[in-house]
Each structure stands twice: as C-alpha cells, then as structure tokens.
Structure 1
C-alpha cells in the first residue's frame, strides 16, 4: 500500500524544549503528525548523535498527537562544514536508505541549513532523492498541525548559495597535478574532469595508461583532494596486486579467521577492511585472479565482506581506485578478466598519457624531478643554461622514446645529479646521459609479449564443441560468458601436464613468477582441480566409447 512519508532534519531550536510548555506551541516536526494536506503516514527524522534525547522526545510527542503515526529515527553524521562533504553525505544516505518508489516522499526544508538546502535541491532535481521539496509552516490550528506547502525546486533561486561554495577550485587542480605547471591541453582537461568527478561521486575510478605514466601518484592525489574537502575521513590503502599470490591473495584482500588457512596462525583483517570509509587503490588490478575478482565485485555491490573461514559478513564501504597498464577489454575477450567487474570499474575511466605525448610538460617535470631527487649531495642542483637546452632538445625529440615514462625521467635526473660537479649539471654530463638513454632504449624490449598473448593450443579447437562445464559441474548456474571461459580452460587442462603448464598455455608470459598457483586458484574458485577434471572427463569418455559414441 502506497504511503506518504516525510523526511526531515531535527531542529534544536524549532523542535526544542523539554518542559511541558513545548506541548502548547507549534513545532514543525511533531506538527507533521496532524498535517492534513497532504496527510503524512510516517516521519523519518534525521538527527545527530548529540541530539538523540531531543529526537526521542519529538518522536514521543508526535505519537501523542496521533496514536497511529509512525516515526523512524535515523542518526546522521555531524553536519560537515562544506557543500562538497554535505552533498556526499546525503548521496551516501540515499544509496544506503533505498527509497521505495511505491511510496510518496516529501522532504522538509524548513529545518535545513543553507548548505543542506542547496544539496537537497540538486538531489531532488536529479532524482537521486525521489522526493518533493516542501516547507512545514504553522497551520495555526488547535491541534498544532504543520501546513505542508510544495516549493519550486528551481535551482536558479539558489545560485547565490552555490557560488559561495563552489565544487572544485584551483587549489584542488594544483594538488592533482602535483603542484607542477603543465601546458599539455589534453592532460589539463583530464585533471579538471578528475577533480569534478572526485568531488561529486564515490563510484569507482579506473586509471589506465602505460607503466610509469603516473597512475599511482594520481590515485594518492585524489585521496588528498577528497580529504581536503572532508569527503573522506579514513586512510588511503594501497595494494599492488602483483604481490598477491595463490590463496594468500584472498586472505590479504578479504581477511581470514584463525585456523581458516593451513600454515597461517592467527586472524587477518584484510586490506579491504582497512580501507573502510577511505580509499582503496588496487594497482595492476589485471593481476587479480578471477576468483578474487568475483569476490571483490560482490563486496563492492553489497558493501559487506566475509573473511575466509567466517560466516559473519562485516561492513566494508570504501571508494575504489583501480589501475592497469593493460587493455582490460582485451583481457575480457581472452577470459582473463571479468566483464561485470570491468563494467563496474569503468564508471569513471581516465587514461594517463605517456611522457612522449606531453613534450611541452617535460621541462617543468624535469625541474620537479630535480627538486625531489633522493640524492641530496650536493644541496644545490641545477643545469647550466647550455646543458639544459641540450637535454630538452633531446628529451622532446622523436628520438626520445621514454619507454618507462616518468621512471625513465626520474632515473635520468638521478644519474646526472650524481655525476654533477659542485651541483652543476654540465654539457658533458648531459652528453653522457643522452648516450645512456639511447643505449637503454636500443636494448631488447618486450615486443614479443603480444605474440605470447596470441599463443594458444590448437588442440583445444578440436574439442571446442564439447560442453565440459556441464560434465564436471552438472548443476552449474554460470552465465554464458563464465561458461565459455571455464569451458576453454577445462579443454586446455585435459592436455596439460601440470598447473604450471596450464597457466603458461592460458596466460602466456602473463603467467607470472608462480604460474602453478594462478591456474590452481582459478579452478579452486569453481570447486575444481586438475586431477578431478581429468578423471571426470575420462570416466565419461570411457562410457561413451563403450556405447560407441564417436562424437565425444
């Protein structure tokens, strides 16, 4: 049955009073109980912890005025001082509250602060809060009812307030750029878009781009900007997924109870729980196994994590920033990355440009690298005028490949500072460094990597039509993507001598330093192992031969 529900903040002044006199005067929130146009079935009263006693008193008074009136008290965080923080607090409430579209919701702005009012107008206009804005006024009736009046949600009426609290500013832009002057138009535009995103959204952010292009630095700066705007109160948790191996990856990310893992003593909280109400940065997310990807997606959607060996989920709410220097869409096609996780991650996707794509920014980044050099001897570090001109001419030329991007630049500066005499980088030192970089970039690269990715076993083509998944998992409920992916892996497993062999055939050079665990972890995610697969398929094949079935 559809109900009319009023959402309202508690006002310590308008709703206040503890003596009996309070029962003889009009107060906006208790008065909602006897409002008649429209009649309200339930009041959702938002209050801060310090005002809990008053909120309880208002609830009692409202029910005294109307016995069948329903009041729901919801504690809210302390009112943040900025528009950014207030907006994100209210947006998070909407996500957690889960409005029921079958009901009619009204939002009382009478007891709001100016900042809350601006946020509510925006949230209502964009339907993120499916409410109609109203004012609760004194109806001047004997039953002390509130008069509910609809208001015009035209945002232009509140431009003056909005201009006092702009979303984003020059200081935030400088933080995201590392306080480095940049001239590349595409990069500057991307930074502006990143700032607008992090100040208005808690959805995941995916940073892509070549290795060394600054993805990790950008993730750290995003946390700084959100912290400066009071949008995040907890830590920045950084995890390099390359370091996560086998079953310990599950424990490292999601935690475990004591005794859940053989060889591990004690319990572990897990990185995701450490990032609760903060930012979790997963670098090289493409290195996560499919099982870990599936659990991560579930945690992101449910905001709950269940440690290994436990049946009790724990609240875990964080903003995720993920980074990868690989083409995740191609990995999806090869069955190495979950398409549903990629869809969730790429709500906001930004590609960090390579250093070669930003030649006009090399000089300012060069100066930055000199300032932050770890080599503090000598204290004064600078180029001679001719040496600087010589280095920049080479650094911005087509000959400069910058294959490792800013890592190459940082290492180059470190070498020149170390070789400098009396803190001055001379033309001779620059000439030596240019020869060093040329030799480095002429060295054998990773050009064979793409060929390895294309390498597959032709033996799997012959059996591609066999539904192995239904053989080893007859009661499965996998979607078509997962089924095809697992079917391919099982077909490869049948002719693999070991887990390491299977990983190398599936992942090529991406099998990593411990290839056996990569395929083992994948199969464990489906309750399978190599021996079980071979035995199950062989047994069915033997029975097919006995029946004379040549199609198996």
Structure 2
C-alpha cells in the first residue's frame, strides 16, 4: 500500500501573500508545491501565527483550486515573537508533541523555505532530532517568473549514512578521534580497541558521567585527559581539565578541596575557597579513586552531579557548577556498595558508561606498540633518537610478554623501564646487556613488592615479634588491617572515620577516635607509638 504524502510548513507572510488575480503571476512557495506535476500531495499541514490567518486561508483556497485532491489543515501556532528562538522552538515542540504522526502509513516533508530564519532553523533542528519525522523540503522560484510556473523543489534526507562522501568524512573523523584517544599507538588488543571505539562515540555525543575502572597504572588518568582534549577540540567544553586523587583527601580538607568553603568555616579557613567543582565549571572533572571518598562527600557529590549546585562548607547559599564528571577507581564499586562503603545512589548515577581498563598483563600484544611509542616520546623530549638492536629487542620482548613479567605498576612500570634503558643507551642503541640489566632490575623490584604473609612486618614493627606471635590468626589479620589504615591516616579521628564509616552513621554523636583508642588498648597499643 502506497504511503500518503504530507507536507508540514509555515505560511509565508510575504512570499505566500497576494491579492486579486495578480497573485497567480507571482511565485508562492506553498501554492507552488501543489502545482508540481511529478508530486501528488495528499495533505498540507499549514502553520501560521496570529494575524496571518487570512493569508493561510487564502493559500488554502488557492490550493483547492489547483489541486482539489490535496487537503489543507491550518494550525494557529501562538508564537509571540517569530524571531525569538526560545518561543518558536517551544511552540513547535508543543505542536510536534501533540500531532498524530503515523510514519507507517505516511511520509512527511518538512517545508523550510517559508517563515522567519528562526522558524526555519527550529524546523531543521526539530527534524534532525526526529521530533518531526521526515525529510527537509526546500523550494525555489522559477528562473523566469510567469503564470503557472511552480519553480523547483529539493529534498534533504538527514540520514547522513546515505551520502557516501559525507559518510566517508564522518568515518575519517571518527577514526581520528579514536587514534587521538590512543595517542596514535597502534594497539592490537581487540577488546581494548572496541572499548576505545565506544568511548570515542560516547565522548563526542554525551555529557553523562563516565566510570573508568582498572588497576593502578592502567591509564585511567591519561584516558580521561584525552577525552577532555578531544571534546575541547570539538568545542564541546569551554572550561578546564581538573583532576584530583581522592585517596589524598582526608577529614575537613576533603570537603573543602572539592566543594570549597567560606571564610571562618573551620579553624584555619582564613579566606573563601572556590573548590575543585567550581574550578571545573564548563570543563571536565576527573575524580580518581572515587571509592576513597567519605560518605558525606559522596552525598554532596551526588547532589552536585544531579542538580549542578551544592553548598560550600560553612556556606548558606548554594553555588552552581556545570561540569562533566569522569570517575576512576581500582575497586569494585558494586562490592563497595554491598559492603556499605559506597552510596548506591551515587554508584547508579556514575555507572551509565562504565569501562574496565585492563592492566598490561591483560594486553600483552600491546606491549610492543607501547614500547615504540615510549621510545619515540623519549627521543622527542631529549632530542635524540633511541632504538633497540635486534637481539636486545627480541630478548626484552620475550621477557615482557612472559608470565614472569608481573607489570604490577602496569604502564607506569613500562614507562619507567623504557626511560631507564633509553638513558643508559650508548649512541642511541639499547644493547642486549642494557636490556638484561633492566630485566633483572624489574625482577628485583617486583620481588620486593610481593605481598607479605598474613599479619606480617607491620605487626612486628609495632608490637614486637614475640607479642605478635602470641596472637590468634583472627586477631592477627584484623589488627594488621587496622594498623595499615592507621599508618595511612593523618590523625586518630581520621583513621576512626575510615574504620567505622558505616556504623558511625547510626550514632547521634559518633566518637571514632575513642572507639579506636579502646580497640588498640586491648593490645597495649597507643596512637602515638603507631604514628611514629
């Protein structure tokens, strides 16, 4: 069954206007549509506003004369100012929302020759967004005016995939974006390449939060900055790239660093501080190790991401900041939510676009292209070309992709390794001797960083080997974990907040420091001794 053809357009207050028999001697775009010999229009939805109702009715009568088959419906669209973008777009949106489109039975042409320039732009945008589901239609007058000359018409289908040259240009730009995110490194891991393809696609089409998961050194910070630079080059961001590792934030300083504070908010707050979220306005904020944030900061961050506003510490007035968020973590946040250490609502908000960046051992085929990239980078920075000789390269690569290579620091380890070898290279040539020495250095480094047995050195250092040996395995493991948190904290209160982050929420007046002091006393330990 052939579909009906429906044209939607505004009456032209000047172009469609005309009085008396002389009007048939001028080109009138809407009437001319019904005069096209090769087109049979079933229906015209003719929009007008306010005082132009008489023009619309005259056009309707004239179309009935030249094309009795064509039905014309007139619609009074209450636009106050046809040059006001917001007014025009909102009224057109209301029309599109209420109109009973039936694409299965009807084809729609959106006529953009008539109306103000603002009207034409809004019709284009509505069609591009598929609120008006059809093709754009442009009409043009005949080269020579005369009675019965309908001029010409052109259809513009916004499905760009149908235009070979445009599709090729878009494909080339997309490939350039992917190469930019990878810094031109010809990575070979199929899963990684597919992931970067999708990240490029999302980065240029969305401002929603991203979550980058992966071990330390997997490249989360590097990728976040490349996403920012890609969006900046496309003029999608006007602000700056702002980065903070949340593991470095503790106590009152965490809230102040992120959300800012007003003068006098706490001891030492001698002046107002804007905070990183405000600094990232119209830019991109990368919160690395977001799982390290406290529950209070998580709640404030959720409000800032959802509502683009928040309260600085000690402030009575909310401030606004419109930023895009990329979060990084080496933890499994789903498990953190289950354990009560991460807010479920914040996790749901940042979990729209989540990507797991594999470590270097998960991408062995990418070690070699990254090796070449790092050597080239070293050469550019130092003004000297550095290369492996054939035997040295083969020797190092055999080790690099073997199970013996732990790459516990991932790309940071590889970068440091290349820097050392390039620095020691004589006359710009990395020899087998240099490569062998570097392999031994890496093996020693990884042996040193191997995990200690349960309840290892920190217990002996803190309470003595004899006392540690008398502990049950249960107490040994628990105390080991507590001491590690204490060693990484600035104060007893800071350590207590981390250790009792969940249970403290149910207490009206939590005293984290006192709870920690009593626990340590069970083992005859004091904070000052641990801290020292």
Q: Scaled by the length of structure 2, what TM-score is found?
A: 0.64
Report the 3-state secondary structure (helix = DSSP H, G, I; strand = E; otherwise coil) of the residue aligned with 1:206. strand
User: CA distance change for structure 1 residues 115 and 42 in 2, over 3 Å: closer, same or farther?
Assistant: closer
Q: 1:516 aligns with which of 490, 493, 497?
A: 493
Q: 2:298 aligns with which of 287, 293, 299?
A: 293
Q: 2:170 aligns with which of 143, 162, 166?
A: 166
User: CA distance change for structure 1 residues 417 and 175 in 2, over 3 Å: closer, same or farther?
Assistant: same
Residue 72 of structure 1 deviates from its aligned partner by 5.6
Q: Which residue of 2 aligns with 1:224?
A: 229
Residue 166 of structure 1 deviates from its aligned partner by 2.5
Residue 43 of structure 1 deviates from its aligned partner by 3.3
**How many positions carry a matched residue from both structures?**
407
Residue 39 of structure 1 deviates from its aligned partner by 3.9
User: CA distance change for structure 1 residues 200 and 415 in 2, over 3 Å: closer, same or farther?
Assistant: same
Q: Distance in 1 between matches of 2:119 and 2:96?
A: 29
Q: Does structure 1 residue 284 correspond to structure 2 residue 289?
A: yes
Report the 3-state secondary structure (helix = DSSP H, G, I; strand = E; otherwise coil) of the residue aligned with 2:216. coil
Kindly indicate whether the alpha-carbon contact (under 8 Å) linking 2:211 and 2:353 is maintained by their aligned counterparts in 1.
yes
Kindly indicate whether the alpha-carbon contact (under 8 Å) linking 1:290 and 1:338 is maintained by their aligned counterparts in 2.
yes
Residue 265 of structure 1 deviates from its aligned partner by 1.0
Alignment of 1:318-357 (within 5 A): 318-357=323-362
User: CA distance change for structure 1 residues 307 and 133 in 2, over 3 Å: closer, same or farther?
Assistant: farther
Kindly indicate whether the alpha-carbon contact (under 8 Å) linking 2:209 and 2:350 is maintained by their aligned counterparts in 1.
yes
User: CA distance change for structure 1 residues 264 and 41 in 2, over 3 Å: closer, same or farther?
Assistant: same
Q: 2:79 aligns with which of 21, 43, 51?
A: 43
Report the 3-state secondary structure (helix = DSSP H, G, I; strand = E; otherwise coil) of the residue aligned with 1:323. strand
Q: Which residue of 2 aligns with 1:198?
A: 203
Q: Which residue of 1 aligns with 2:49?
A: 32
Residue 287 of structure 1 deviates from its aligned partner by 1.1
Q: Which residue of 2 aligns with 1:262?
A: 267
Deviations 1:425-472 (A, max 9, x none): 111111111111112222243477999xxxxxxxxxxxxxxxxxxxxx
Report the 3-state secondary structure (helix = DSSP H, G, I; strand = E; otherwise coil) of the residue aligned with 2:378. coil
Residue 371 of structure 1 deviates from its aligned partner by 2.4
User: CA distance change for structure 1 residues 344 and 425 in 2, over 3 Å: closer, same or farther?
Assistant: same
User: CA distance change for structure 1 residues 423 and 309 in 2, over 3 Å: closer, same or farther?
Assistant: same
Q: Which residue of 2 aligns with 1:421?
A: 426
Report the 3-state secondary structure (helix = DSSP H, G, I; strand = E; otherwise coil) of the residue aligned with 2:186. coil
Q: Which residue of 2 aligns with 1:236?
A: 241
Worse-superposed segment, 377-386 or 187-196: 377-386
Kindly indicate whether the alpha-carbon contact (under 8 Å) linking 2:289 and 2:328 is maintained by their aligned counterparts in 1.
yes
Kindly indicate whether the alpha-carbon contact (under 8 Å) linking 2:245 and 2:289 is maintained by their aligned counterparts in 1.
yes
Residue 233 of structure 1 deviates from its aligned partner by 1.9
Q: Which residue of 1 aligns with 2:415?
A: 410
Q: What is the root-mean-square deviation of aligned Cα atoms in Å?
A: 4.7
Kindly indicate whether the alpha-carbon contact (under 8 Å) linking 2:246 and 2:292 is maintained by their aligned counterparts in 1.
yes
Q: 2:388 aligns with which of 383, 386, 391?
A: 383
Q: Which residue of 1 aligns with 2:509?
A: 529
Q: 1:123 aligns with which of 118, 129, 136?
A: 129
Flag the structure with larger Rg.
Answer: 2
Q: Does structure 1 residue 304 correspond to structure 2 residue 309?
A: yes
User: CA distance change for structure 1 residues 313 and 427 in 2, over 3 Å: closer, same or farther?
Assistant: same
Report the 3-state secondary structure (helix = DSSP H, G, I; strand = E; otherwise coil) of the residue aligned with 2:328. strand
Kindly indicate whether the alpha-carbon contact (under 8 Å) linking 1:276 and 1:318 is maintained by their aligned counterparts in 2.
yes
Kindly indicate whether the alpha-carbon contact (under 8 Å) linking 1:502 and 1:519 is maintained by their aligned counterparts in 2.
no
Unaligned segments of structure 1, at least 5 residues: 1-7, 15-25, 46-54, 60-70, 75-92, 125-129, 139-151, 452-500, 536-552
Q: Distance in 2 between matches of 1:222 and 1:510?
A: 36
Residue 40 of structure 1 deviates from its aligned partner by 4.4
Residue 207 of structure 1 deviates from its aligned partner by 0.5
Q: Scaled by the length of structure 1, what TM-score is found?
A: 0.62
Q: Which residue of 1 aligns with 2:150?
A: none
Q: Distance in 1 between matches of 2:351 and 2:497?
A: 28
Q: Distance in 2 between matches of 1:512 and 1:42?
A: 65
Q: Distance in 2 between matches of 1:529 and 1:188?
A: 51
Unaligned segments of structure 2, at least 5 residues: 1-8, 16-27, 31-45, 57-72, 102-109, 140-154, 457-477, 516-532
Q: Which residue of 2 aligns with 1:104?
A: 98
Residue 398 of structure 1 deviates from its aligned partner by 1.4
Kindly indicate whether the alpha-carbon contact (under 8 Å) linking 2:360 and 2:407 is maintained by their aligned counterparts in 1.
yes
Q: Distance in 1 between matches of 2:391 and 2:247?
A: 43
Report the 3-state secondary structure (helix = DSSP H, G, I; strand = E; otherwise coil) of the residue aligned with 1:282. strand
